[in-house]
Structure 1
Amino acid sequence: MIAKANSDSPLPRGTLERISYIKQMLAELSQVARTERAELLVYLLEMAFTEAGDLLSGKSVTSLAHVNRNETGRVPMQSAGKVKFE
């Protein structure tokens, strides 16, 4: 069953439905990982589940902001130079 999304959310309905579906799948995957005793996977899946819930409730919309994610942090970077393989 797909959870009902917050109707006051600034996110489009289609986005809310997809995130709700992802949240449902994360819950199922978390159970599989728990059965297999893959603790790190359980932790990561539960973190993603929590984030999906926050997105649906409107607590966290910044991770869905459509910005250019390839922009640098404007920190000057210098090349380490040539790497010599022997």
Structure 2
Amino acid sequence: MNTKPIIAAPPTGRTQENVAYIRQMLGELRAVANMEGAEMLRYLIEMAYVEAGDIQAGLRPLSIGGNRDKAAGVTVKSAGKVQF
């Protein structure tokens, strides 16, 4: 098993600024959720905060497989007609 971390190039230019802004806002939201005692919400916001920091540091790619608008490995089947 390969335990070597995947190193991605950090985003550049406008994208880097946007990721930094998102991370800053997440930090503020985390503080609000913490003050309100919303533990699960705080945890989820914290995970997004860490993810944004990893993207900034180049430890994680901005998107999975370069597909920004597609879910990775998920097949979506049409629901068809709904009967009541």
TM norm structure 2 = 0.69
Give the match for residue 30 of structure 2.
30
Structure 1, unmatched stretches of 5+, are 1-8
* Count of residues paired in the alignment: 76
Following the alignment from structure 2 to structure 1, what is the Cα–Cα distance between the partners of residues 49 and 74?
31
Q: Which has the higher contact order (CA 8 A, sep 6+)?
A: 2
Q: Indicate whether 1:84 and 2:83 are aligned.
A: yes
SS at match of 2:63: helix
> Within 5 A, what are the aligned runs for 1:1-86?
9-63=9-63, 66-67=66-67, 69-70=69-70, 73=73, 83-85=82-84
Divergent runs of 4+, >3 A: 68-75, 79-84
TM-fit CA distance, 1:63: 2.0
How big is each residue's C-alpha offset from its partner over 1:25-49, in whole Å with a ceiling of 9 and x where there is no partner? 1001000000011111101100000
Structure 2, unmatched stretches of 5+, are 1-8
Describe the shift of the 1:12–1:44 C-alpha distance in structure 2 as closer, same or farther (beyond 3 A).
same
SS at match of 1:56: helix
Q: Which deviates further from its counterpart, 23-32 or 59-68?
A: 59-68
Identity %: 45
TM norm structure 1 = 0.67
Give the match for residue 4 of structure 2.
none
